[in-house]
Amino acid sequence: MRAADYFLPRGQVLQWHGQAGQCLQVCEGLIVLEELLWVEEQLLQPRQRLGPGSCYVLHSSGWVTLTALGDAQLRLPACPPPAVPAQWWATGLARLRRVADKLGGRWLRHIPWAWGFSAQPALGRRRSQRPASWRALSSKGVNSRSDA
């Protein structure tokens, strides 16, 4: 969805389906905005009067009615794509994995939250496959557990 500029002459009504979080900007003139809201199984249609330079953020997705009280110009900016945060996470985790692979994954073995990203995951190892540092400590008697 691209940004759209509208000019509404006096008395004209514009109905549009907006997304939650989408912003409406009034460049000049006066408009009345009516947004449908469900509150505890009740349908409400509050009216909001917006003047020049005003900005309104939609509370929920649905139909919005805009009525021009005088000649008005408004802008409906584009919505950000909903998958952007997921894409950021995927990019960040991919970068972390590349760094871990370059370092050999050694430093990630001891960090539980990073086991899923290391080149050699620590989960699912047998007792004999513990890191060398653990074996060295248990052979010196530092670890008093019987399964060490």
Tens of pLDDT, residues 47-105:
999 999 888 988 888 889 999 999 999 998 755 555 556 666 677 777 777 777 777 66
Asked whether residue 41 falls in the same domain as residue 98, the answer is no
Asked, for residue 89, whether it belongs to a domain, the answer is: yes
At 117 the pLDDT is: 47
Asked whether residue 53 falls in the same domain as residue 111, the answer is no
Q: State how far the alpha carbon of 87 is from the alpha carbons of 20, 62, 80, 92, in Å.
A: 20, 26, 12, 9
Q: Tell me the C-alpha distance between 110 and 105, whole Å.
A: 10
**Tens digit of pLDDT for each residue in 124-148?**
545 555 555 555 555 555 544 545 4
At 101 the pLDDT is: 74
Asked whether residue 58 falls in the same domain as residue 20, the answer is yes
Comparing C-alpha atoms, which of 24, 60, 26, 23 is closest to residue 44?
60
Asked whether residue 65 falls in the same domain as residue 92, the answer is no
The last residue of one of the domains, among 37, 59, 76, is: 76
Asked, for residue 142, whether it belongs to a domain, the answer is: no
Asked whether residue 88 falls in the same domain as residue 62, the answer is no
Better-scored residue on pLDDT, 28 or 106: 28
Asked whether residue 12 falls in the same domain as residue 45, the answer is yes
At 121 the pLDDT is: 47
The last residue of one of the domains, among 44, 60, 76, is: 76
Asked, for residue 139, whether it belongs to a domain, the answer is: no
Q: Tell me the C-alpha distance between 2 and 80, whole Å.
A: 10
Which pair of tokens denotes residue 142? Answer: 């530092």
Q: Tell me the C-alpha distance between 81 and 27, whole Å.
A: 24
Comparing C-alpha atoms, which of 90, 80, 87 is closest to residue 2?
80
Half-sphere exposure of 74 (CA within 13 A, CB side): 28
At 136 the pLDDT is: 56
Query: The domain that contains 64 carries what CATH number?
Result: 2.60.120.10
Asked whether residue 43 falls in the same domain as residue 103, the answer is no
At 118 the pLDDT is: 44
Q: Which domain holds residue 113?
A: 84-126
Q: Per the structure, how many domains does the chain have?
A: 2
Q: Is 53 left (phi over 0), alpha (psi -120 to 50) or beta?
A: left
At 84 the pLDDT is: 54
Better-scored residue on pLDDT, 30 or 1: 30
Does residue 27 surpass a pLDDT of 80?
yes
